Amino acid sequence: MKKYCIFLIILVSTGLCCALTSAEIQPVLYFDPDVVESNTGDNNIVLLMMDGVYRGLCGYGVLITIDNPHIAEFISIELPEWVGVQNVNKINNTAYFVQGTDVDEKQIPGSVRIPLAVMGIHAIAPGYATILATPVAIDDDQKGRYTTSVGTGTIVITGAGPVPVIPMSN
């Protein structure tokens, strides 16, 4: 019985070790900066970035949105120079679908801090909004597909100019 228990413990621990070492690390989408602080009427630049492409990057499709159209809107979205085949589709002032392909294989396995899009954001009114990057498809160089979560960032807009001084009555 004792030998059976030891055998069972070894079998379970071996299976557990194999399961933990076979887990894949998936790429991460994020915004740089992750918090945009601005005044009403200002324009800001935000980068959509990706890390963790251990199998390289062949192409991507990402939906980029701002959840509150009364606070901020996109004024431009451009893809970086390394993207050979580019497609930027404007859905409205707060949503774009972007696609890019690395035809010259510039993003090799293990690349870090890969820019996927450069966004111009206009601050409309004071308040808070969330900027989201929802991956539709991110393909690696080995004819596979990454699975990654939604990237999020925060937009904080304050009023423009100094706080007005209200005169006191006597």
**CATH number of domain containing 55:** 2.60.40.680
Q: Is the peptide bond before 33 cis (omega within 30 degrees of 0)?
A: yes
Decide if pLDDT at 12 tops 90: no
Tell whether 18 is covered by a domain.
Answer: no
Tell whether 110 is covered by a domain.
Answer: yes
Tell whether 12 is covered by a domain.
Answer: no
Q: How confident is the model at residue 2 (pLDDT cuts 50, 70, 90)?
A: low
- Please provide residue 143's backbone torsions phi and psi, each rounded to the nearest 5 degrees: 65, 30
Decide if pLDDT at 70 tops 60: yes
Tell whether 56 is covered by a domain.
Answer: yes
Q: What is the pLDDT of residue 35?
A: 93
Q: What is the pLDDT of residue 4?
A: 55
- The better pLDDT of the pair 13, 44 is held by 44
Task: Summarize pLDDT for 126-163 with one digit per residue, the tens.
Answer: 999 999 999 999 998 888 888 889 999 999 998 754 44
User: In sequence order, which residues have a C-beta less than 8 Å from that of residue 46 and are 6 or more positions away?
Assistant: 31, 32, 33, 36, 118, 119, 121, 131, 153
Q: What is the pLDDT of residue 53?
A: 87
Tell whether 19 is covered by a domain.
Answer: no
Range of the domain at 111: 26-158
Of 42, 169, 38, 27, the closest CA to residue 112 belongs to 27
Tell me which amino acid residue 128 is.
Y
**Burial status of residue 84 (CB atoms within 10 A of its CB: 0-12, 13-18, 19 or more):** middle
Tell whether 6 is covered by a domain.
Answer: no
Domain count, the chain: 1
